[in-house]
Amino acid sequence: MIFALDEELDKLNIDEENGLDPLEDVSSIESDFSNFPQEQLQQQQQQQQYIQPLTSDHLNISSSINSMRNRRRSSVLDKFSILSPMHTRRVSVHHHNNEDLVKPELKRPEGVSEESAIDDDDEEGIVTDTNSKKISDFKPIRVLGKGAYGKVILVKDQESSKLYAMKTLKKAEILINESNVINLNIERTFAERTILSQLEHPNIVKLFYSFHDQNKLYLILQYVPGGELFYHLKEYGTLSEDIVSYYAAEISCALKFLHDKGIVYRDLKPENCLLNERGHLILTDFGLSKKAVDENDPNNEGGDSNEESIYTLHSIIGTPEYCAPEILQGLPYNKNCDWYSLGCLLFDMLIGKPPYTGNNHKIILNKIQKDKQGPKIPFYLSEGMKDMLNWLLKKDKTKRWDVDKYWKEEKVTTNGNGNKGKPKKAGKQRELKFQSHFIFRKINWELMESGDLQRTEMGPIVPMITDWELAENFDEEFTSMSYEDDYAIDIPKSNNNNNNSNLDGTITGSNGTDDIFKGFSFKASRSYLERHF
């Protein structure tokens, strides 16, 4: 369901309902933490190298909040019936009869070849649709989660006994939709496989294989056994500032990495943040991510006019409670929207709900617009945290912290006069370097950015795992589900009965989907597989 928000979310406005207002307006807080003594920071960092593993003191148990926390899925394209501003890709809201359905011209997204791999330096890196893995290579164990187009199942490689998370997507669900959404669905499906096949980052889920058969598409992903951050938030209610700062740093590293590659993530929310066995945060679900054209790239010769620039994306997409206001308004946006979503996620972790909630995007947008001074932030948060939230949650994107630009202090910090370069605020844009912010005083950015920290240290919440196959950190709502429907091995129908299927599962024929999913299969290079297992 698209932008379908649980009505229960409104009930989370417990403070308003009870006449209590623990929130204060801190929009005027623009304190500059650049003056925090650096030596003291470094000393602190050395002493307390990383944040200590979780103790009960770290957790602000809030049963009233956690009992009401509701899952917000699925985040797909919004169907804007009322708002239809300029630059908005309009998506129809009414249902068609089959006869009325105008079959769109289906096309594989630009840039997706029939063969692909992470490296081409070893021959295993290149696969075609016919020699990739197949469903029968994996034994299903249990369901881990459920998305818009299928389930995510914990599977075991029959040959190696390694565990993976297998994301299944039903072709019919992708294709049987309102006609003008189909191409966007296909684009979304390919985007996830293409983007993930090109990434390698310690805080981003790894894709090892992808393939398809007659009815489904499969992504064989790294199994992240610690479950969703959502699951842990549901358990604990809210988290301490130390823990939140740690996750903020890990998510920021992943977002910055994506942005540097021209990718906007667009779907940051606790359901898409998983914890690995060491308690580090792993971003998953790249179905809404977009690799956009860099207008400044001299190699970009204009290209397809349908391509959206990284500087100006228009699709209305995401989960409204974590969406930047410009997206909700249907205005052009850029990678800066991910930093607003980070603000919403931090707010949620600290307070128990995102800054604005409501039954639909319009209610949320109204609330954002009504709140001239920005969201109300509780008085009990530290000044540093208030400052961070305030700068990320600026509704005017031109005033929002441009984290990509002001990411970190360059190595040489002296200006022409030999004075130490001092971060400053100029006009309305914040020029303080993100990594130097007070809330990150305990983070060793160098280790984190290199991935060494994730390899050698535990994160702040180390999930309880007695047996990886039990998937103990996943909601029973999912683990108790049947996987029969999503795992069924398709027996391709023979070619001479006009049923449009080939032995490799690709569809050919006159059903309008000719070869549309061809090129979906992928196998990571041998070196990549060896590095991660």
Ligand X SMILES: Nc1ncnc2c1ncn2[C@@H]1O[C@H](COP(=O)(O)OP(=O)(O)OP(=O)(O)O)[C@@H](O)[C@H]1O
Q: Which is nearer to ligand X, 141 or 443 (CB)?
A: 141
Name, in order, each residue with C-beta under 8 angstroms of 230's C-beta and a sequence gap of 6 or more.
69, 71, 269, 270, 271, 273
Per the CB < 8 A criterion, the answer to whether 478 and 146 are in contact is yes
Within 13 Å and on the Cβ side, how many CA atoms surround 415? 6
Residue 54 CB, shortest distance to ligand X, in Å, is 20
Residue 411 CB, shortest distance to ligand X, in Å, is 36
Residue 74 CB, shortest distance to ligand X, in Å, is 3
Q: Which of 75, 116, 329, 501 binds ligand X (CB under 6 A)?
A: 75
Q: Which secondary structure element, helix H or strand E, spans residue 440, and what is its range?
A: none
Q: Which of 109, 125, 140, 147 binds ligand X (CB under 6 A)?
A: 147
Which strands sit side by side in the sheet containing 151-157, from one edge to the other? 138-146, 151-157, 163-170, 216-222, 207-212, 522-523
Contacts with ligand X in 434-493 (CB under 6 A)? none
Name, in order, each residue with C-beta under 8 angstroms of 503's C-beta and a sequence gap of 6 or more.
130, 492, 495
Residue 459 CB, shortest distance to ligand X, in Å, is 16
Segment contacting ligand X by CB under 6 A, of 67-75, 305-313, 381-389, 440-448: 67-75
Residue 211 CB, shortest distance to ligand X, in Å, is 16
Of 195, 183, 192, which Cα lies nearest the Cα of 217? Answer: 192
184 binds ligand X (CB under 6 A): no
Q: What is the 3-state secondary structure (H, E, C) of 307-367?
A: CCECCEECCCECCHHHCCHHHHCCCCECCHHHHHHHHHHHHHHHHCCCCCCCCCHHHHHHH
Segment contacting ligand X by CB under 6 A, of 140-148, 391-399, 496-504, 506-514: 140-148
Q: Which is nearer to ligand X, 129 or 271 (CB)?
A: 271
The secondary structure of residue 381, as a DSSP letter, is S
Residue 448 CB, shortest distance to ligand X, in Å, is 21
- x/- map, 190-229, ligand X, by CB under 6 A: ---------------x---------------xxxx---x-
Q: Which of 34, 74, 341, 435 binds ligand X (CB under 6 A)?
A: 74
Q: Which of 145, 343, 355, 463 binds ligand X (CB under 6 A)?
A: 145
In the complex, residue closest to ligand X by CB: 147
CA gap 152, 147 in Å, rounded: 8
State how far the alpha carbon of 17 is from the alpha carbons of 10, 71, 359, 456, 516, in Å. 10, 22, 17, 46, 51
Q: Which is nearer to ligand X, 222 or 240 (CB)?
A: 222
Which amino acid is residue 267, in one-letter code?
D
Q: Which is nearer to ligand X, 311 or 468 (CB)?
A: 468
Per the CB < 8 A criterion, the answer to whether 225 and 473 are in contact is yes
149 binds ligand X (CB under 6 A): yes
State how far the alpha carbon of 184 is from the alpha carbons of 160, 167, 170, 194, 288, in Å. 36, 19, 15, 15, 10
Q: Which is nearer to ligand X, 75 or 357 (CB)?
A: 75
Give the burial class of 340: count Cβ atoms within 10 A of its Cβ; 0-12 exposed, 13-18 middle, 19 or more buried: buried
Size of the site for ligand X (CB under 6 A): 23
Q: Which is nearer to ligand X, 266 or 442 (CB)?
A: 266
Contacts with ligand X in 29-48 (CB under 6 A)? none
Contacts with ligand X in 262-291 (CB under 6 A)? 271-272, 274, 284-285, 287
Among 78, 129, 213, 267, the active-site one is 267
| 3-class state of residue 444 by DSSP | coil
Residue 75 CB, shortest distance to ligand X, in Å, is 5
Residue 285 is among the residues annotated as catalytic for this protein = no
Q: Which is nearer to ligand X, 152 or 244 (CB)?
A: 152
CA gap 237, 221 in Å, rounded: 29
Q: Which residues pair with 155 in a beta bridge?
A: 140, 164
Report the interface residues with ligand X, using CB under 6 A: 73-75, 144-145, 147-149, 152, 165, 167, 205, 221-224, 228, 271-272, 274, 284-285, 287
Which residues have a catalytic role annotated? 267
